[in-house]
Structure 1
Amino acid sequence: MLRHGFHFNAKRHLRMILDAARAGKGELLETTWEEMDRAERTPPLPLIKERFCMKLEKNDYASAVSCITIHPASELQALSKSVWLNLYKDNASRFQQETIIGLVEAVDMIIGKRTKFLLPISFKVLDSNFLKKWQIGISKFGNLGISPVGICNILALSRRFRIDPDLFLNRVGVLKDLGFNGGVLTRVLERFPRIIMMKEDDLCEKIGFLEGIGISRYGIERVFHLFPEVLGFDVENRLKPLLDEFLELGFSENMIRDEIIKDSRVLSMELGEMSRCLGLLKTLKCRAPIKDKIFSEGEFRAGFEVKLRVDCLCKQGLIHREAFKILWKEPRLILYEVEEIEKKIDFLVNTMNYKVGCLVEVPEYLGANFDKQILPRYNVVEYLRSQGALEFDVGLKSLIKPSRLRFYNLYVKPYPECEKMFGRFAEGAAIQGRHPVGMWKLFKPQKYAESKEAVNNTKSFMEPLV
């Protein structure tokens, strides 16, 4: 397509090229890259990151670095340190332990040769003096079983706080003596690398707190693996007051211990947060089956699920008051997975071009089924808008609140071409019944052939009654 005079359009072609590259057809990405380079255009950021990962996956470090260095730093300000760390974390399964080491060595060679290329800001943490100091330390990472993401976090933290390799290896030895082995150590270094700066007494204090509430050694490892950030919490000012609050709310120590082992993110709750979540649950006005499902695993778990949904909504740009208001108006959100809520909000903001604040007025959007209600209705409205059939703007409220039949009568029935994309109530659309086809036959009484003997027996039984 590009070789026949057509131009690359990021909105139309980017997703197609990325999907093809991840499916093993990297030649499409390479062709696009060459054409954009020939036209002196800067590739989109997702294209740069995908080609960078492809080259690293093949251990082609020079080409991977060239994806960055061939562009001026002024055009690549979006490639910050946090972006690189997230990139390594999201694609950790594609890289080997030696990948990051090879990348560091490649960057070291580029800096050592003092090339005329200008490295972006994200690579400035890997200056030559820093790399020379860590050259021996990096070679020992393979024996520790640290993942590429953990290595990146360690290098970034060490560069910032001037930590030398000997101190790091010493801290790793201390962690192993305390029981941080295997996957637990890797997980902690990925999620909470500041542990290498903590004192041994502080770590022992956290372990002692968990042992004090009856958590076994295996349970402590599970807590640190699921929620490594708990290592940064203060015991006296954070963890103990939180435990006291749970006890004051009427929860037993055994229940609290079991919930912490089940999901250690319970310890991330702020003081007073559980009380507010339980207060919301007590004022819910919803159908009895929904409320029964919310409390099916107990009051403690229900309050924690509310906290997770509130955090999810606040992460999207809402304040706590708005998040609680949405949950109170649409209690079904407590039953939905956080990933499903994030998917709906992402579609609302990036595809439908609405602001996240509109959820306060139309919380029913988050309670609607994405595949059966939101997506078909959006496709119908967008099609009608593109054809000029709508003389007014269909807002989010008008899109979500009408029933299926009303929406069908308003926007689908007058336009037969929309029936296929809407599906429901369309001619020929199969509506699945409650029972599978043919199930009614199982409930039909079985027929038996009438014999002469059966007829005579019936007559002999009925004659005395007549």
Structure 2
Amino acid sequence: MMRGMGFREETVKKLFEELPLAVLKDSAGFRKKIDLLKYIGLSSREIDQILFSCPEFLELNFEGRLKPLLDELHKMIFSHAEIRAAILENPKPFLRLVPGELSRCIELLDSLRCRHPIKERILNMGYLRASINVKLRIECLHKHGLILRDAFKVLYVEPRAILYDLADIEEKLEFLLQKMRFCIEHLVECPEYLGVNLNKQIIPRYNVLEYLRSVGGLGDEVWMKHYVQLSRMKFYNMFVKPYPECEKIFNGFSREKVVRPCHPVGMWKLFKPQKFPESENDVRNMRKFVKSLNLC
């Protein structure tokens, strides 16, 4: 049956390796799911690619999962072209959507109160693909221990995280949990952590604070706000300035600044006022003027 539908040998082999035999024997359910993909506008070659990359699609319940999801997409007035583009771009997260999940992601996108350029970049590829990006980041936060409600709250406060690569977010979360030794719930108190640059801001501050902790220079406990919310100058004045050895660690401010001239050497000669020769008459008049001032 599969070969008759035009599937490649590699795809058929992978389906038999990864799926239960009961799923493959259900020919009626199999055809319904394939017809659903064709109804969206996918070609046989594209369906073959999707099944090869995401064979678990055939395990999804048609009446309880796939059909309600398609009905939800139609209610949101998404065209088949948008749905097709979203599936081809990210088949796994799209096919993992459950009914109602997409609506919640779109509600978050509509409620964002961020700067216009950021929201414009988020919605640049359309609501559907932006919703998939939201879902991927929610799953990432949830995987590291954050409950779904708090994950949505973090993205609402720090929408720039929707634009960043998942690898970048994963790296920040690993650093937060493993190196900084904060629990994931601290991210709810300070969501801006996902929006700052890890290498330029967080790691230099972490190195300074770890050094001060090792030499007993930290009197008070350090919180997330010290890494994220303090300005660079305020952090410098609070933790770096009292300890000169921290300046190299901090990777920035230095007390010994080299003052560079505003103009190249010799440029001052061009701006020197022109000197005119003085005649004997000018000298005589100048002396008379000075004497008159003394008489007064």
Tell me which interval the TM-score lies in, with the shorter structure as reference length: 0.7 to 0.9
Aligned CA distance change for structure 1 residues 183 and 332 (closer, same or farther; 3 Å) = farther
Query: Deviations along 1:183-206, whole A, 9 cap, x unmatched?
Result: 53566567xx12444224133332
Structure 1 residue 426 displacement after superposition: 3.5
How far, CA to CA, are the matches of 2:197 and 2:6 in structure 1? 45
2:95 — aligned with what? 267
Q: Does the residue aligned with 2:245 lie in a helix, a strand or coil?
A: helix
Matches within 5 A, 1:141-156: none
1:386 — aligned with what? 214
Query: Deviations along 1:390-432, whole A, 9 cap, x unmatched?
Result: 1111111222210112111211122222222221334689xxx
Residue 318 of structure 1 aligns to which amino acid in structure 2? L
Residue 181 of structure 1 aligns to which amino acid in structure 2? R
Residue 141 of structure 2 aligns to which amino acid in structure 1? L
1:313 aligns with 2:138: no
2:11 — aligned with what? 184
How far, CA to CA, are the matches of 2:12 and 2:193 in structure 1? 41
How far, CA to CA, are the matches of 2:198 and 2:16 in structure 1? 37
Candidates 253, 258, 267, aligned match of 2:85: 258
Structure 1 residue 225 displacement after superposition: 2.9
Aligned CA distance change for structure 1 residues 187 and 333 (closer, same or farther; 3 Å) = farther
How far, CA to CA, are the matches of 1:395 and 1:236 in structure 2? 49
Residue 209 of structure 1 aligns to which amino acid in structure 2? L
Candidates 72, 83, 90, aligned match of 1:245: 72
Matches within 5 A, 1:221-370: 221-264=48-91, 265-370=93-198
How far, CA to CA, are the matches of 1:306 and 1:419 in structure 2? 39
Q: Given the two structures, how large is their TM-score scaled by the length of structure 1?
A: 0.52
Question: Percent identity between the aligned chains?
Answer: 45
Matches within 5 A, 1:160-179: 176=3, 178-179=5-6
Residue 361 of structure 1 aligns to which amino acid in structure 2? E
RMSD (Å), alpha carbons: 2.2
Matches within 5 A, 1:79-228: 176=3, 178-185=5-12, 188=15, 193-198=18-23, 199-201=25-27, 202-228=29-55
Aligned CA distance change for structure 1 residues 413 and 244 (closer, same or farther; 3 Å) = same
Aligned CA distance change for structure 1 residues 411 and 244 (closer, same or farther; 3 Å) = same
How far, CA to CA, are the matches of 1:186 and 1:406 in structure 2? 61
CA contact (8 A) 1:223 1:263 kept: no
CA contact (8 A) 1:226 1:263 kept: no
CA contact (8 A) 1:215 1:257 kept: yes
How far, CA to CA, are the matches of 2:180 and 2:16 in structure 1? 38
1:418 aligns with 2:265: no
Q: Which has the higher contact order (CA 8 A, sep 6+)?
A: 2
Query: Unpaired runs of 5+ in structure 1?
Result: 1-173, 430-466
How far, CA to CA, are the matches of 1:374 and 1:183 in structure 2? 46
How far, CA to CA, are the matches of 2:210 and 2:242 in structure 1? 15
Aligned CA distance change for structure 1 residues 403 and 183 (closer, same or farther; 3 Å) = farther
CA contact (8 A) 2:169 2:194 kept: yes
Q: Does the residue aligned with 1:314 lie in a helix, a strand or coil?
A: helix
Aligned CA distance change for structure 1 residues 418 and 223 (closer, same or farther; 3 Å) = same
CA contact (8 A) 2:19 2:55 kept: no
Q: Given the two structures, how large is their TM-score scaled by the length of structure 2?
A: 0.79
Structure 1 residue 297 displacement after superposition: 0.8
2:274 — aligned with what? none
1:406 — aligned with what? 234
How far, CA to CA, are the matches of 1:330 and 1:183 in structure 2? 43
Q: Does the residue aligned with 2:98 lie in a helix, a strand or coil?
A: coil
1:373 — aligned with what? 201
Structure 1 residue 282 displacement after superposition: 1.0
Query: Unpaired runs of 5+ in structure 2?
Result: 258-296
How far, CA to CA, are the matches of 1:313 and 1:325 in structure 2? 11
Aligned CA distance change for structure 1 residues 381 and 332 (closer, same or farther; 3 Å) = same
CA contact (8 A) 2:102 2:131 kept: yes
Aligned CA distance change for structure 1 residues 204 and 428 (closer, same or farther; 3 Å) = farther
Q: Does the residue aligned with 1:416 lie in a helix, a strand or coil?
A: coil
CA contact (8 A) 1:195 1:231 kept: no
CA contact (8 A) 1:413 1:419 kept: yes
Task: Report how many aligned residue pairs link the two structures.
Answer: 255
2:288 — aligned with what? none
